[in-house]
Amino acid sequence: MHLLFVADPLESFKTYKDTTFAMMRAAAGRGWRLSACHPADVSWQRGQPVTAQVREITLEPEDDHWFTVRRTDRVPLKDVNAVVMRKDPPFDAEYTYSTHLLQQAEREGARVFNSPQALRDHPEKLAILEFPEFITPTLVTRSAADVKAFHRDQQDIILKPLDGMGGAGIFRVKSDGLNLGSIIETLNQDGATTLMVQRFLPAIAAGDKRVLVIDGQTVPYCLARIPQGSEVRGNLAAGGKGVAQPITERDREIAHSVGQRLAPRGLFLIGLDVIGENLTEINVTSPTCFQEITQQTGHDVAQQFIEALARKLRG
């Protein structure tokens, strides 16, 4: 098998926690060939297939020199067994253009995970709207008046931009409404930008759980990202502490329902964010936490991913 990872530059990987690296290591353990490129390396020209300037690599044991480039070549994407799209957000115009190129490669016979069209169709904040039975009271709007009315009704709310990641741009406003107007102005930009508002969930104190679903099957352990000190955000990038734990029956219920609906659309790997009993986000671009779960529980999530991918490719 030959896997091509479309990802951020390899030199930027923090291998002790990087999920894409864990996938590569699991694939290399099976003797699979590994190549990598950046979205900027992918191109198309009329009369030719979608190609990428790729680096075929071998993994090395040293953390500070973890790969060796065997060769560099321009490769048609249809000629590798699988293209694994792992570019981190932001989900901006360039990301969207990349999905169109990858979709063209699919039309030519490439197999891309996650599906480029599914990536476009499921924005990570807004994908939860399809599952109202699992989410807390939620408002998506450009209207400052709507946000203020929602606050009057719910009293304790969370406001967040639709294009943020790692907890960036998230604000909590309690019943006193302190700084609500200023926060709306910052996120809403005088009605130019849509934002999401949700009722605050006190269960965040026990962690914002990352529940992973691979080809519709739920990983049996999640990573609870627990806010530290006075911080309201559990994101690891915002200083949260990651604690692996078995998933609950509620986690399983949510993951099964969401996974069974989204996997047939080409979302091979998704990462659900669950606070208490509520689904808060569906991560589809580059879900993480493989290594943290594996290190703390012994359950090798990357191996589960590669085994599922092997079955998919054989099928």
DSSP label of 40: G
CA–CA gap between residue 39 and residue 29 (Å, rounded): 26
229 exposed, middle or buried (CB, 10 Å; 0-12, 13-18, 19+)? exposed
Q: Give the pairing type, strands 2-6 and 33-37.
A: parallel
Q: Which residues are catalytic?
A: 125, 160, 210, 225, 233, 273, 281, 283
Among left, alpha and beta (phi > 0; psi -120 to 50; other), residue 27 is: alpha
Paired strand residues for 80: none
| Distance separating alpha carbons of residues 290 and 283, to the nearest angstrom | 14
CATH, domain 137-200, list 2.40.30.10, 3.10.250.10, 3.30.590.20, 3.30.1490.20: 3.30.1490.20
User: What are the residue ranges of CATH 3.30.1490.20 in the chain?
Assistant: 137-200
Phi-psi region of 185 (alpha: psi -120 to 50; beta: other; left: phi over 0): alpha
Mean pLDDT of the chain: 95
Instruction: For 11-67, write each residue's pLDDT tens digit.
Output: 999 999 999 999 999 999 999 999 999 999 999 999 999 999 999 999 998 877 999
Q: What one-character DSSP code corresponds to residue 189?
A: T
- Span 2-117: which CATH code? 3.40.50.20
pLDDT of residue 239: 76
Q: Where in the chain is the domain with CATH 3.40.50.20?
A: 2-117
User: Where does 203-314 sit in CATH, by number?
Assistant: 3.30.470.20
- CATH 3.30.470.20 location in the chain: 203-314
pLDDT at 240: 82
- pLDDT for 255 equals 98
The answer to whether residues 195 and 138 touch, using CB atoms and an 8 Å cutoff, is no
Mutual angle of helices 290-297 and 19-29, in 10-degree steps: 70
**What residues are paired with 71 via a beta bridge?**
56
Residue 230 confidence (pLDDT):
66
Q: pTM for the whole thing?
A: 0.94
Find the distance separating the first CA and the last CA of the chain, reported in whole Å: 14
Per-residue pLDDT of the chain (315 residues; tens, 9 = 90+): 999 999 999 999 999 999 999 999 999 999 999 999 999 999 999 999 999 999 999 999 887 799 999 999 999 999 999 999 999 988 899 999 999 999 999 999 999 999 999 999 999 999 999 999 999 999 999 999 999 999 999 999 999 999 877 667 899 999 999 999 999 999 988 889 999 999 999 999 999 999 999 999 999 999 999 988 767 766 777 678 999 999 999 999 999 999 999 999 999 999 999 999 999 999 999 999 999 999 999 999 999 999 999 999 998
Q: Which long-range contacts (CB under 8 A, 24 or more apart) does 144-149 make?
A: 144/181, 144/184, 144/185, 144/188, 144/191, 147/180, 147/184, 147/188, 147/195, 147/197, 148/180, 148/184
> Rounded to whole angstroms, how far apart are CA atoms 206 and 70?
46
